[in-house]
Structure formats: C-alpha cells, structure tokens
C-alpha cells in the first residue's frame, strides 16, 4: 500500500493516502492523477474510482468529500516524496502504520477490495 507522510497540518508527520483538493477546472480523475504525481512522483498508473466518503467530521478544517481511487501496480516503482509529503513509501498491508483523518476507517474496505480483485484476477 502506498502512503505519504504529511508535511502540513492537520496531521503533520502522520501517514495518509496520497490526495488533495480538486482544482476548479479539472475532473476528479485528473485531480487524482495529479495529486498522486505531486506527492509520490508516480504517474501513468491506471486509476479506478473505488468509493466516495463524506462524513461531515472527517476533516477538522472543513467539510470534505473524498473520492478514493485505487490501482494495481508493480511495487518495484519507487515513490519520491514531493509537494505536501515529506515521505512516500510502500507498506506491506499486514504492517501499516496508524493513518491520518478517517483513513483508518476507509482501510478495511480497500483491503477487502484488493483481496477480492486479486482472487478474480488469478
């Protein structure tokens, strides 16, 4: 699982999924790809929309709606932290750190999704 360590508050120096805000002139898909590249240096991945999360209390700054994108890729790709990340790193799904925001609550659904997709693709 690819995670970034946040550079700025809230949750400064905590691990999180790569992500950010959608610019006014871009699609959700373009924003997901841009944020992934800005924070991890990775580009050209086939991103698939997974699920939308909208708990009004999920971000202490303001109301935030998150659209999660996933991708299967070769973990040989080496992420390089940039923009709002001080670190970007692959983690074994069995040994993940505590996560910022409500990402810990989102994690089980993502892990189940990956497990199901792997079974379907094998």
* CA–CA separation, 22 and 28 (whole Å): 7
Q: What is the mean pLDDT of residues 44-69?
A: 92
Catalytic residue chosen out of the listed positions 29, 37, 38, 87 = 87
Question: Is pLDDT at 82 greater than 70 in this prediction?
Answer: yes
The tokens for 42 are 């990775």
Q: 17, 99 in Cβ contact below 8 A?
A: yes
Per residue in 83-107, pLDDT (tens digit) is: 899 999 999 999 999 999 999 999 9
Q: Residue 60's Cα: distance from chain center in Å?
A: 18
Question: Is pLDDT at 122 greater than 50 in this prediction?
Answer: no
What order do you get walking across the sheet with 85-90 strand by strand? 15-16, 2-6, 85-90
Percent of the chain residues past pLDDT 90, beyond the cut: 78
Question: Is pLDDT at 70 greater than 90 in this prediction?
Answer: yes
pLDDT band at 10 (very low <50, low <70, confident <90, very high): very high
User: Domain residues for 111?
Assistant: 2-121
Q: Comparing 27 with 61, which gets the higher pLDDT?
A: 27
35 in active site: no
* Mean of per-residue pLDDT scores for the chain: 92
Q: 68, 113 in Cβ contact below 8 A?
A: no
* CA–CA separation, 35 and 41 (whole Å): 9
CATH of the domain at 86: 3.90.79.10
**How many domains are contained in the chain?**
1
């Amino acid at each position: 699982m690819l995670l970034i360590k946040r550079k700025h508050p809230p949750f400064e120096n905590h691990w999180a999924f790569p992500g950010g805000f959608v610019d006014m002139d871009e699609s959700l898909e373009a924003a997901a790809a841009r944020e992934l590249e800005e924070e991890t240096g990775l580009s050209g991945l086939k991103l698939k929309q997974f699920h939308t999360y909208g708990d009004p209390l999920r971000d202490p700054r303001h109301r935030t709606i998150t659209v999660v994108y996933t991708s299967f890729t070769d973990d040989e790709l080496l992420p390089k932290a940039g923009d709002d990340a001080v670190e970007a790193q692959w983690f074994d799904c069995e040994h993940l750190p505590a996560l910022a925001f409500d990402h810990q609550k989102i994690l089980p659904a993502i892990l189940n999704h990956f497990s199901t997709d792997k079974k379907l693709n094998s």
